[in-house]
Structure 1
Amino acid sequence: MNPDVIGQHRSQIDAVRLPPLAALRCFEAAARLESFSRAADALHLTHGAISRAVRLIEDELGVALFERRSRRVFLTDAGRKLASAAREGFVLVETAVREIQEEVRAPALVVSCEPTLLIRWLIPRLPDFQGRHPDVSIHLVAGGGPVTLGRGIDLAIRRNDFVRAEAVHATPLFRERTGPVCRVDKVAEFFDRADSVRLPALRDDAVLLHSRSRPDAWEAWAGLADCRTFGRRAQNFEHFYISLQAAVAGIGVAIGPWQLVRDDVESGILAAPLGFVEDGSVYHLLAPAAIVEQSAQAKLRDWLLEVAV
């Protein structure tokens, strides 16, 4: 017979049978308070319930735990040994329960992010963070521009296109790079072909997609790329996100920040014939104070720095 199997059987046969947890709780209270009556009051039980619980343990162990003299009880040597172990055990259990409850009650980390970046970059990547850090709960809210941290918002992801408070702690995430993008099968319609002399260029009849939330996007890129866009056909949309979706639909050419279009470019949905150029702005993770290492904020910061590459 396999000796390991014998060992397993013996360990099961020789396993110590522990007294019921409720009885141990009654005994520990009686030992600590040196009174069955006070233990009953502390546990909201009757004197008889405490007495029966102690008697149950004594019967199972075959030894007296208390000496009963003149309506008072005194621990025996066996009682002191069990009382010490029970006290330590309950402290360990209570500590573990408290820590678990605190983890469960830990409030979600509220993170504000610019809407288009939230929809097209952060949310698609969030399952990766949740898989790595299931203990950190994230609540995302859409918002742009100046933000008041510490009043319902713990962290914010913003481009440095506004003056922020001096007390705010900012961690640079990535530099903004922009370029014209259109659906892959529309490149020949909106761009002249490159040759040995010329790089690709916007066709004169290309439809430029604008948005009211970033009205200067085309002008800013044109200044960096030394390209004329004035007087071309245009179509306006309410929000920057919609202009990018219009590019995906093949309606025209939008200015696409790299992080907002990288998934579509890498998957072959959008093309960026002219590439991307840095516009001088930087996205930051904003916090009300320096982020404490090993905290939920630090875990999110480190992950953002990794996925922003």
Structure 2
Amino acid sequence: HGTPKPDPRPGETPFWEQPHPRAEVERLLKAHAGEPLLSIHAAVLGPHYSTLDVAMHDFRMAQELGLIASMHQGGGPARTPDGWERLEAAGLLGSHINIVHGHALTDAQLARFCELGMSFSAAAESEMSQGHGHPLTGRLRALGRAPSLGVDLESVMSGDMLSQARIALGIQRSLDNVAHREAHGSIPPTSTITTREALGWVTIEGARMLKQQDRIGSLAPGKQADLVLVRADTLNMQPVHDAVSAVVLQASLANIESVMVAGQWRKRDGRVLGADIPSLLERLTQSGQKITQAMGL
């Protein structure tokens, strides 16, 4: 659950001074309790984008309600420069805190947050395009951790996770290759990151970030039956010598033939099931037109 963050009009309280609406989160938790395919968490501002009072309120709310509090970190100067130190002193940091981007974190902060069990989400395509800097992937790997991956702006970037895995893998391999050339004056003999590791960023690491790795994120007895079947007999996939590498480096959405969620087929033989696609597309078109008109485009 997140909140809109428009620039304040004259006389309005700016969004960075408004605590997350706890009553609305509690309403959602109560209304959707027990739904197996839905979990409620909070997209909060965090100390980078809010006052200290707001950050304290939001982190305490998440802790008391058992929520994951996810927030962006980076992109301009922090509104509360010592916010992270103050939040840790208040005992409000832990595995329920997720940081998106994180480029503004120092090496010491990142190491400390890893010790506290906090999670991190990179959005490599968006970060490179918007000027955030290089994804945290390499810095986390040096600390024995791995990111989950996100998109950040599905309205602008590719919304599928295969693309995000491929982009995140490519940029970190590039950074590692440049470092090797500078240190040794030669092209490295092999890549630093395997495709299997990159696949983990969009599967089990995503589940770990949600604290649901015991239920989703991999195929194992007792876990939820989530399957993605990828056709390997198409021209862009052939010949397949390494299935994981073929998926991460070659597959596109057009190769995904079937999808099962919690034991139920949601896509089969290339067709999405139980959805009126033409109606959804019409609504999407209308929504896009409303937004562009409001922006005067």
TM norm. shorter chain > 0.5: no
Normalised TM-score (structure 2): 0.18
User: Per residue, is there more strand in 1 or in 2?
Assistant: 1
Larger Rg: 1
Structure with the larger RCO, 1 or 2 (CA within 8 Å, 6+ apart): 1
